Amino acid sequence: MLEILPLGAVDPEAVIRQDERAFGFRYDRVSRPVARADVADMRGWAAVDRGEVVAFVGARPCEVTLPGGCPVAAAGVTWVSVAATHRRRGIASQLMGRMHAEALERGEPLAVLIASEGGIYGRFGYGVATWRRVVRLDRRAAGLATPFEDPGRARYVEGAAALDACRAAYERYRVAQPGAVSRREPWWQRAVAMKTPQWVVHEDGDGVVDGFTVYSNELHWDYGHPASRVSVDDLVTATPEAREALWRVLLGLDLVGTVETTWLSPDDPLEWQLADRRALRTVEVLDGMWACPLDVAVALGARRYLAGGTLVLEVEGARFRLDAGEGGAEACPTGSEADLVLGRGALGSILFGGVRPTVLVAARRVVERVAGAATVADRMFLGERMPHCNTAF
């Protein structure tokens, strides 16, 4: 008999075993304690069949930044899986429903996640809110075009000193970047425990850390020619000076043939700073963070809008009047006729400013009931910059 139980009522090792089965790997003696700490750090719901965990959904509280520098509470959904032996029984829907209801009870108007597969979460009301570019740079050809005099300095740090230096810089970055999510203390501890990379911080002229990068180096020689590959795992900057200085460090590493990252923002200016733009190749553009508006009125009213206006949005049968102006925005239920009709997933994409409503109208994901309403929505929902999430959670 299948039972739906809260996380605290099940054995963490049973959850870990289901995670291993679902994602096809084994935790070793180093990573297993980290996985147990992961389970202890999250709330969640498990499906249990005769004592064995066969499905699981977890979440952690976080903040995600909406356009206008507006952090809002969210449920950071993670560790979603259903055993191959229990598919097509509606288990995931039950677990996600419990998770969403709990998030609303906790005052979290949004749920966000990073998807392992792209075809799963639309049916649960999630839409792609951010994107990330996978890029590869030919290190020898990737010189920056213009001279740069760094007002601060870059330096290597290790261990606890790395965490102390980077936390504040990340906070400065994430409160100004649409799509960025807060990083809880266990996230930082996992970053150190699971990897042995190099950490480089940048300090401004006053000695304040305003950026950092984390990279690993895979040593390789091509018959006497250095061809090591550097993977940039994290690059966070609160100032343009920090961003340029850290990229100069990465592109100045000796014995390196290729510099790669899977987390470059779609609107990152790096390629425009290169003397040869072909030194940077975009290998793929992937979805990043997905978002589901659980409380539509609160989510719409929590962000700022570059252009004022009024729209009536019908979201899965419920209508909301959105009034946006210089002083902020307000959204409330209404009985007025809808200008646009859309699902929660489409609203999750539009909310962060990375997708134009007119594009979703053309894709038949949004229905325009009043001519020109989507163009008005384009102007209103545009963000001050492209949304980006560079945190796996």
List residues with catalytic annotation.
121, 393
Do residues 176 and 65 lie in contact, with contact meaning Cβ atoms separated by under 8 Å?
yes
Write the burial class of residue 58 (CB in 10 Å: 0-12 exposed, 13-18 middle, 19+ buried).
buried
Q: Tokens 């425990």 label which residue?
A: 193
The residue count for the chain: 393
Who's near 93: CB < 8 A, 6+ residues apart?
A: 124
Burial 108-137 (b: 16+ CB within 10 A, else e): bbbbbbbbeeeeebbebbbbbbbbbbebbb
Q: Residues near 314 by Cβ (< 8 Å), separated by ≥ 6?
A: 320, 338, 340, 341, 342, 369
CA separation for the pair 28, 133 (Å, rounded) = 30
- Contact in structure between 342 and 314 (CB atoms under 8 Å): yes
Return the percent helix, strand and coil in the chain, to nearest 5. Answer: 30, 35, 35
Q: Residues 182, 116, 343, CA angle at the centre, nearest 5°?
A: 75
Contact 247, 228 (CB under 8 A): no
Residue with tokens 């906790």: 106
Distance of alpha carbon 231 from alpha carbon 228, whole angstroms: 10
**Token reading at 185:** 């203390």
End-to-end C-alpha distance for the chain, whole angstroms: 32
Buried-exposed string 302-337: b where 16+ CB fall within 10 A, e elsewhere: bbbbeeebebbbbbeeebbbbbbeeeebebeeeeee
Contacts of 69 (CB under 8 A, 6+ apart): 175, 176, 304
